[in-house]
Structure 1
Amino acid sequence: MASSETMEVQTGKKCVPSLPDEMIELILARLPVSTLLRCRGVCKQWRLIIRDPRFITAHQLMKPTQCCPLLFSHRELASKKLYPSEAILFDEAWSPSRWNVPVIEPDDFLSACCNGLACLSSDRSTIKIANLSTGECLHLAKPDNRVTGDHYSFYNFGFHPVTKEYKVIRFLGQRELFSVDTVIVIQVYTLGDDKWRDVRAPKAQSLNCIDYLGVVNVDGAMYWLTEDVGKSWRRAIVCFDLSEELFECIRLPIVDVTDRYSHSSLMYWITEIDGKVCVATVQNSMYSARGNLQIWTLENKANQSWRLNYTIQFPSVDICIPRPHFIHGDKIIMYDDDWNICYQKLMGQNIRIEPRKMVRLLNYSPRWFGNMQSFKYVKSLIQLDVYSRGGAFQRPKRREGWKLKKWENWMLELCVLEKLWRRIYELERSISAGACRMGMNINPLLKHPPEKNRFNWVEQKLVREMLNTSLKRLESIQKILDPIQSKMIRGADQHRLNWLELKQVQEMLNANI
């Protein structure tokens, strides 16, 4: 028979006292982000603790999460197939997983990652700041003074550790006749604010370097490579402080070119290793590397002193380097000529890249390596609703059926659109060929004055009616496609696919075709 003490516990008369909130916070602060996201559903008390900004800050300080490589490929056409934007995240054991998160749209472009927040942009009128771990998203309106050729990669995103402010940066370029694009103004948007501010650049800078070579955020400042227009296109590093919003120019290290590829032009890549600004130099093309790749670390920004950190010798085969972050811990991530994503450990300061030592992670065929970017990503609990002023905050989407509703519908919509355009193209070709044949038959008759026994006016009338009918059919098809072209030609739209509207369009096109 159970004791009275046990009965009291079972009947709820006497309960075990709960742990103090301070002890619960200390226990939860030692858990990883993925576990904490599941713990939010345990009880209201745990949810309030995990969502507390003080706890989020303490969690980042007590358990700094290891940065994981995040590879991102934006939308592209490969092997006659359109591939959507895709993110691949590697865990601490370098095990890859394709990261299908609802905040990444099929036509998004990843501009930057900072403290677990991603800056996503596209050709739409807004840019997104998203927490890829929690699924929260903040939509921000783009600046009003958009120029022709506005490109998503001209946006960037950073954080200042002293002011605790997140800022979105937009490089506003100006195109001149017989010249390259140059940066004249940098537009700044502080999360939690409601407007963009213009910060004029001290002098014209090449916009192509920013577009192709990327931007890194280190210790509250943004760094990028540029070509000084006023000094015969001499390259340098520009530093933009996110707190004071001031510019500073840093000279590049002096490189001794002594390898066998010295006849090639010297390329500079900017990156970040262990929280420090680094510059990689190599003699080769924009993406691939051959010969010796030297990685220099900026030791002292005030004195502009550099230290040679690594000398990496690449084989004669093409090895491509994703940017801007290609060094992750003690490994360098690469892309070989067989479409394999690989890495090799960096043992010492002088390293030789050998195919037999390269660890293959996955095959990424047939996508092009030039569309791939590499970032350092750390999972975080940062909430975006506190920055909702001036932006549209969006809570996490439901994952059930999300992939079916968005990605598969997007591909199906593109396939239907391709079939419609293919039928229209075939119809235009047949009409054009028929018009040519009729023209060849009519032209000899029009060289001479019309005679009753040589020219059939009834046949001419039939030809005119056939041409008019064909033109009317093309006009009706164009009238049907014009209202929906802006919605369908983009591929993935922000709204759900309207199957009834699509079915009506197909019926109208079939009737006219």
Structure 2
Amino acid sequence: MDSGKNLSKFLAAKNNKIYMDLKLIIREHALQFLPAKSLFKFRGVCRDWKLLISTPFFAHNQSLSFSSVSGMFFQIPGETPTFISLDPESCGVPDPALNFLPVPVDIMSSSNGLLCCQAQADDRAYYICNPATMQWKKLPKPSMEHGPKSDAVLVFKPSLLNFVAEYKIICAFRSMDFDDATEFEIYSSKDDSWRVSREINFAARRLIPKSGVSVNDVVYWQTSSGTILVFDTTKDRSQIIHGYYSTNGGLGNFNGRLCSAYIYGHRLMVSVISNIYSNTMQMSSRAKLWDDKVKIPLPSEMLGAGASSYVPSPVMYAGSEIVLIYSKQNIYLCDMKTREARFLVEAPRTDQKVVPYVNSLVAL
């Protein structure tokens, strides 16, 4: 009998040790890779987890470790935004309409868990916020008038050394001093101020609204002439890229490189740029500038029968190995890994802004 009791105690102690070791491993090495919504739930597991998840150090580690696109903010101009989660059980925000901000806003851009918004009111003030934590900051007024057709792009990458987010906003706007010229104004959170770049681009023509994207400290905008305007934040220089299909395409970030996603026939084509600095102001061969990476066949019921070579189905978002396509008052999600397309949400209007969001705990 004694040996049986001892064996039971031994097994119970061993199982308890395994449980404690597993709990420690999860706490120390797994939690930081989870999205914010899941972490808010897991604060109820035990007191230790609640204290850990609530610390600035853990929030900083999570912002470095979790970078997957968790969902999309959709917004019709002048209306309240909505949020569609790609994984509703794990990812989400407490206030998708962003009512925690002091005024109604238009979402301009996003980057690694932060949103750049602009007030719909007359002052058109800029705000930075994290929808997961509902932290926000109003930015000082720019020194230049950006106008209603400006395009502001947020550039932010979490840093191992900085607990407080350091980010930039690059705004391209029509020059008041030079005809058909584009100027740039940059906000730096480190300095908490705006500065006007000395760079002026005379070749960009008109920018396509809501087209700006950032990839590795470089910002790209589509233009009405079928080119791409490039602004390098580290060099404070701009250039024009030729050889781009803009009929129904969109720009995005594919594994750290600029990508072009567009519809051709019944296929989604995703091409990645080879080297932005190999192209000059002269016309260049598209074949040398872009590498075709993904070709996804699209179902005929999605685009409609009898589609021509160029289908007027705009690419609303491209990046993080997913592409959103608008067709027949619906938005479809195309997965570049599985090469499959599926219905995402109904959308009666095509003029919505679509902004990706990473469910991060990054602090402002």
TM-score, scaled to structure 2:
0.70
Moved more, 190-199 or 114-123: 190-199
Which residue does 1:222 correspond to in 2?
219
Superposition deviation, residue 191 in structure 1: 1.4
Output the amino acid matched with 1:194.
D
Output the amino acid matched with 1:155.
A
**Closer/same/farther in 2, CA of residues 52 and 346 from structure 1, 3 Å limit:** closer
**Closer/same/farther in 2, CA of residues 121 and 299 from structure 1, 3 Å limit:** same
**Closer/same/farther in 2, CA of residues 251 and 194 from structure 1, 3 Å limit:** closer
Superposition deviation, residue 127 in structure 1: 1.3
Which residue does 1:130 correspond to in 2?
129
**Closer/same/farther in 2, CA of residues 300 and 57 from structure 1, 3 Å limit:** farther
Superposition deviation, residue 217 in structure 1: 1.4
Q: Distance in 1 between matches of 2:354 and 2:344?
A: 14
Cα pair 1:205 1:226 within 8 Å, conserved: no
SS at match of 2:258: strand
- 1:155 equivalent in alignment to 2:146: no
Which residue does 1:335 correspond to in 2?
326
Cα pair 1:154 1:170 within 8 Å, conserved: yes
Which residue does 1:173 correspond to in 2?
174
Which residue does 1:278 correspond to in 2?
259
Cα pair 1:217 1:223 within 8 Å, conserved: yes
Which residue does 1:379 correspond to in 2?
359
**Closer/same/farther in 2, CA of residues 37 and 69 from structure 1, 3 Å limit:** closer
Task: Give per-residue Cα distances to partners, 1:262-297, cap 9 Å, x unaligned.
Answer: xxx856632222332012456xxxxxx767664320
Output the amino acid matched with 2:213.
V
SS at match of 1:134: coil
Give the gaps of 5 or more residues in structure 1. 1-17, 77-83, 228-232, 256-264, 283-288, 352-356, 385-513
Q: Distance in 2 between matches of 1:206 and 1:334?
A: 26
**Closer/same/farther in 2, CA of residues 123 and 146 from structure 1, 3 Å limit:** farther
Alignment of 1:13-52 (within 5 A): 24-26=27-29, 28-38=31-41, 49-52=52-55
**Of 109, 114, 122, the match for 1:112:** 109
Superposition deviation, residue 26 in structure 1: 4.0
Q: Distance in 1 between matches of 2:37 and 2:214?
A: 25
**Closer/same/farther in 2, CA of residues 359 and 279 from structure 1, 3 Å limit:** closer
Q: Distance in 2 between matches of 1:101 and 1:236?
A: 31
Q: Distance in 2 between matches of 1:105 and 1:334?
A: 33
**Closer/same/farther in 2, CA of residues 251 and 59 from structure 1, 3 Å limit:** same
- Structure with greater proportional helix content: 1
Superposition deviation, residue 51 in structure 1: 4.8
- 1:70 equivalent in alignment to 2:60: no
SS at match of 2:324: strand
Alignment of 1:379-398 (within 5 A): 379-384=359-364
**Closer/same/farther in 2, CA of residues 145 and 218 from structure 1, 3 Å limit:** closer
Cα pair 2:82 2:96 within 8 Å, conserved: yes
Q: Distance in 2 between matches of 1:100 and 1:190?
A: 26
- 1:326 equivalent in alignment to 2:318: yes
Q: Distance in 2 between matches of 1:21 and 1:94?
A: 24
Backbone CA RMSD of aligned residues: 4.1
**Closer/same/farther in 2, CA of residues 209 and 312 from structure 1, 3 Å limit:** farther
Cα pair 1:75 1:108 within 8 Å, conserved: no
Superposition deviation, residue 130 in structure 1: 0.8
TM-score, scaled to structure 1:
0.52
Superposition deviation, residue 67 in structure 1: 1.2
Q: Percent identity?
A: 21
Task: Give per-residue Cα distances to partners, 1:326-363, cap 9 Å, x unaligned.
Answer: 3553x5322222x2222345588xx8xxxxx8533332
Superposition deviation, residue 132 in structure 1: 0.7
Which residue does 1:139 correspond to in 2?
138
Alignment of 1:302-381 (within 5 A): 302-303=277-278, 305-311=289-295, 315=304, 316=306, 320-323=313-316, 325-326=317-318, 329=321, 331-337=322-328, 339-346=329-336, 359-365=342-348, 368-370=349-351, 372-381=352-361
SS at match of 2:332: strand
Which residue does 1:249 correspond to in 2?
239
Superposition deviation, residue 110 in structure 1: 1.0
Which residue does 1:388 correspond to in 2?
none
Task: Give per-residue Cα distances to partners, 1:390-423, cap 9 Å, x unaligned.
Answer: xxxxxxxxxxxxxxxxxxxxxxxxxxxxxxxxxx
**Closer/same/farther in 2, CA of residues 74 and 118 from structure 1, 3 Å limit:** same
Superposition deviation, residue 65 in structure 1: 4.5
**Closer/same/farther in 2, CA of residues 45 and 199 from structure 1, 3 Å limit:** farther
Cα pair 2:59 2:362 within 8 Å, conserved: yes
Q: Distance in 1 between matches of 2:34 and 2:90?
A: 21
Give the gaps of 5 or more residues in structure 2. 1-19, 280-288, 298-302
Output the amino acid matched with 1:364.
A
Cα pair 2:248 2:315 within 8 Å, conserved: no
Task: Give per-residue Cα distances to partners, 1:420-457, cap 9 Å, x unaligned.
Answer: xxxxxxxxxxxxxxxxxxxxxxxxxxxxxxxxxxxxxx
Output the amino acid matched with 1:121.
Q
Output the amino acid matched with 2:37.
S
Count of aligned pairs between the two proteins: 318
Output the amino acid matched with 1:295.
V
Q: Distance in 2 between matches of 1:96 and 1:39?
A: 13
Superposition deviation, residue 211 in structure 1: 2.2
Output the amino acid matched with 1:275.
G
Cα pair 1:109 1:153 within 8 Å, conserved: no
- 1:296 equivalent in alignment to 2:271: yes
Greater relative contact order (Cα < 8 A, sep 6+)? 2
